Amino acid sequence: MKKLSYVLAFCFLMISTPTLANDQQIGIKDHIFTPSDITITAGTKVTWINHDADPHTVVEENNKFHSAALDTNDNYSYTFTTPGTYKYFCTLHPTMLGSVTVK
């Protein structure tokens, strides 16, 4: 009977514990966001990492998020909580484009 109580308690915890979203990374290399377009679930943290020698920024087109200039190996993270599509770019190199779609 005691074993059954432990099993039931474990099952309850597994069902009632929220699942954490997987963090995602976007690399910046050769003046390109890679991957440039991703789809994630709400609650996911996305981290951009600059692997270029040049500085870059990550700025959402409606200014919902905005990084400072990222030097080599610097990173910037943002947690997406609201569904929608978020288009972003680098202010220093405006041809660098990407998007995050949140489901």
CATH number at residue 73: 2.60.40.420
Residue 5 belongs to a domain: no
Query: Is residue 6, in this structure, part of any structural domain at all?
Result: no
The answer to whether the predicted template modeling score (pTM) of the entire model surpasses 0.85 is no
Q: For residue 39, what pLDDT is reported?
A: 98
Give me the amino acid identity at 60: E
Q: Is residue 1 part of a domain?
A: no
- Nearest C-alpha neighbor of 50 from the set 24, 25, 72, 23: 72
Instruction: Collect the ranges in the chain with pLDDT lower than 70.
Output: 1-21
Domain enclosing residue 76, as ranges? 20-102
pLDDT of residue 21: 52
Amino acid 28: pLDDT: 98
Peptide bond into 18 cis (omega under 30): no
Count the domains in the chain.
1
Q: Give just the sign of the alpha carbon dihedral 98, 91, 84, 79.
A: positive
Distance in angstroms (rounded) separating the CA atoms of residues 9 and 48: 39
Domain membership flag for residue 84: yes
Question: Is 92 within a domain?
Answer: yes
Task: Please indicate, yes or no, if residue 58 is contained in any of the structural domains.
Answer: yes
Q: Tokens 């993270």 identify what position?
A: 77
